[in-house]
A and B are shown apart, each in its own frame.
Chain A
Amino acid sequence: MPEVFSNLALQHYLVVGSLMFAIGMIGFMCRRNLIVMFLSSELMFQGAAINFVAFGAYWGKLSGQSFVIFILAIAAAEAALALAIIVLLFRQKHTVDSQAFRELRG
C-alpha cells in the first residue's frame, strides 16, 4: 500500500514535470529539423504525464493514471500522423528543414 505522498513530494514532481515541459517547448521553438521538433513535443507530453500521475498519487485516485493512458493514445496518433506528413514533405522537397516550407506561412 502507498504510504503518505506528502505535499512537498507533490511539489517536487510538479517542478520536474514543468521543467521538462519548458525544455520541450524550447526545443520545439528553436530546432529546425521537423523530426526533432516532434520529439520535443513528445517531451512536453511527458512533462504533462508526470504532473497527472503526481496529482493522482497525491489524491490517492486512479484518474490521473487513466488520463496518462489517453495521453499515450493521443501521442501515438499524433506521432503516426506527423511522421506520415513528414515523409510526404520529405518526398516533396527532399529535406526535413522546417524553413524550407515557408510558403505554408501564408
Chain B
Amino acid sequence: MVDPQFAFSQTFPTLAATEASAGKLVASTPLAPAIVVALCVVAGLATWLLLPGKREAAIRSIGGVILLATGLVFGAILVRWTAAWGGMSFYFWAFSAIALFASVRVITHTKPVYSALYFVLTVFATAGLFVLMWAEFMAAALVLIYAGAILITYVFVIMLASEATTGTVGAKADSFISEHDAVSRSPLMASFTGFAIAGLLVFLILDKGSQIPEPPAKSQAAVDLGSAQELGRNLIEENAINVQLAAVILTLAMVGAITLARRRVIVAPQDQSIETVVSPGTPVDDNPHSIPVYGTTNPRHKAYPET
C-alpha cells in the first residue's frame, strides 16, 4: 500500500525526494501543478488563436508559434525529467511530435481535404509509435485500415459533399473556403475545456503513473508482441465472442450505410436556397437513382413511383 504521506509528498515536487523503493527508481513528478496550469492556459489561448475564425492569418500563425513553443517547453521538461533514467529513444520523440503536430493541423486547417491528409500523417506517426511498442502487426493493420480504407472514404465524401462557393468569406486566396470551415463554433470554450481535460490527464499520469503496479515477471509470460500468429491465437482463444460481435456490427453497419445512402430525399419546400424546378420542359431524367423533383408539373416526374 502507498503511504498517504508519501503520496502527498509526491504531489509537490519541492517536497518529494527521488526515492528508491523496492529496488525500483521512483521518479518525482516533473511538473508542479502551477506549471501544468500555466502550460494549459497558454496552450488553450494559443489554440483559440489558431482555430479558424474571423481573424487575420498573421494572428493565427502567432497562435501556431505560441502553441509550438508550449509543446517544445513541455517536451523539454519531459526530456530533462527522464534524462536521469536513460530517457526515451529519439524515435519516440520524433514520432510523437509528428503525431501531435499533425493532429493539431487536422483540427485547425480550414480545408477539409488537407485535414484528411494530415490525419493520414497522424496515422503514419501512430503506426511508428506502435512499432516502438513491438506491435508491428497492429502498425501494419492501422496503416492499411485507416490510411487505406477509412480515409479514402472520407476523401470521397469530402469531394461528393463539396458545395458551391456561394457562401464564402474572406478575400482572394481564401475564396474557396466556405463559411462553416472558416469560422469555428465557440473556439475559446472548446480549447479551454479540452486543455483542462488534457492538463488533468497529463498531471494525473505523471503524478500517479509510477504507482501503476508492476507487471508479473516477463520471463515467464514471454510473448512475442509483434507476432500476428500470437495475436490471432489471442483473438480466437480469449475474444471469440467479441470477434463474432464485431462481424455482426460490421455487417449491420454495411447494410445500414447502403440503406441510408439509397434513401430518397425530399427537399423541404420552404428552403429558399434550393431552387425547385416548376416549369415543364426539364430534361427527362431516366436515372432511377436520381432525386425526384417534387412540386413539378412535369407528368413524367409526377408519375415517378414513390416507394
Contact = CB atoms under 8 A, between A and B. Distances in A.
B181 A18 contact: no
Interface in A1-39: 1-2, 4-16, 18-27, 29-33, 35-36, 38-39
3 closest A-B pairs by beta carbon, nearest first, are: A27-B107, A22-B198, A77-B253
Given A23-B103, A62-B234, A46 B137 contact: no
A53 B142 CA distance: 12
B206 interface: yes
A7 B202 contact: no
Interface string A36-68: 101110110010011001101111111101101
B24 to A, nearest CB: 8
Interface residues of B, number: 104
Contacts of B123: 46
Contacts of B122: 20, 43, 46
> A interface, by DSSP: helix, strand, loop or mixed?
helix
A40 B106 CA distance: 8
Contacts of B137: 65
Nearest to B209: A11
B161 A35 contact: yes
Contacts of A40: 106-107
B149 interface: yes
A83 B198 CA distance: 28
B49 interface: no
Contacts of B35: none
B112 A36 contact: yes
A18 to B, nearest CB: 4
A72 B250 contact: no
A5 B133 contact: yes
A5 B198 CA distance: 24
B267 interface: yes
Contacts of B141: 69, 72
B32 interface: no
A66 B129 contact: no
Given A10-B209, A42-B119, A50-B126, A25 B161 contact: no
A43 B153 CA distance: 16
Interface stretch (B5-13, B58-66, B238-246, B276-284): B238-246
A8 B25 CA distance: 10
A81 B260 contact: yes
Interface string B158-189: 10110110000000000000111101111101
A92 B150 contact: no
A95 B179 CA distance: 10
A33 to B, nearest CB: 5
A94 B257 contact: no
A91 interface: yes
A25 B194 contact: yes
B67 to A, nearest CB: 10
B150 to A, nearest CB: 5
Contact of B180 (A4, A39, A99): A99
Contacts of B263: 88
Given A18-B198, A23-B107, A43-B122, A80 B265 contact: no
Given A32-B181, A65-B135, A76-B145, A27 B106 contact: yes
A61 B223 CA distance: 7
A91 to B, nearest CB: 4
B154 A92 contact: no
Contact of B218 (A26, A56, A60, A87): A60
B139 to A, nearest CB: 9
Interface stretch (B15-23, B224-232, B292-300): B224-232
Contacts of A23: 100, 103-104, 106-107, 194, 198
Given A35-B157, A86-B157, A26 B235 contact: no
